[in-house]
């Protein structure tokens, strides 16, 4: 999700029922085939699922590669981000 999110950033997310999700939301979702946890932006509804896109289109693995993600694999919506620099300060 670079440049919006960077390695080491902390995110706060809350479960969000499908009807409350909106295009443009950043979400936590499971990859439809290997169930890896993903952070992606909702692009649009696609039947009974969502089209997910990464911010770095040249390097992102997203719905352009695996298709729409079913509603049940969209786990939560990101509500806040703590940049990595602040995260490191808390640990020290």
Strand ranges (DSSP E) for the chain?
10-15, 26-30, 37-46, 49-53, 69-70, 74-82
Query: Is 78 a member of any domain?
Result: yes
Query: Is 53 a member of any domain?
Result: yes
pTM of the full predicted structure?
0.82
Alpha carbons 8 and 82: distance in angstroms, whole number: 9
CATH number at residue 50: 2.10.109.10
Q: Helix count (H) and strand count (E) of the chain?
A: 2, 6
Query: Is 33 a member of any domain?
Result: yes
Query: Is 62 a member of any domain?
Result: yes
Range of the domain at 73: 10-83
Render pLDDT for 44-79 as a digit per residue (tens, 0 to 9). Answer: 999 889 999 998 888 889 999 999 999 999 999 999
Q: How confident is the model at residue 18 (pLDDT cuts 50, 70, 90)?
A: confident
Number of domains the chain is built from: 1
């Amino acid at each position: 999700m670079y440049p919006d999110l960077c390695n080491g950033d902390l995110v706060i997310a809350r479960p969000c029922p499908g009807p409350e999700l909106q295009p443009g939301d950043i979400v936590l979702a499971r990859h439809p085939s290997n169930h890896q946890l993903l952070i992606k932006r909702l692009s649009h509804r696609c039947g009974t699922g969502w089209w997910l896109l990464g911010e770095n289109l040249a390097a992102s693995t997203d719905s352009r590669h695996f298709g729409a993600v079913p509603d049940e694999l969209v786990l939560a919506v990101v509500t806040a981000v703590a940049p990595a620099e602040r995260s490191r300060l808390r640990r020290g």
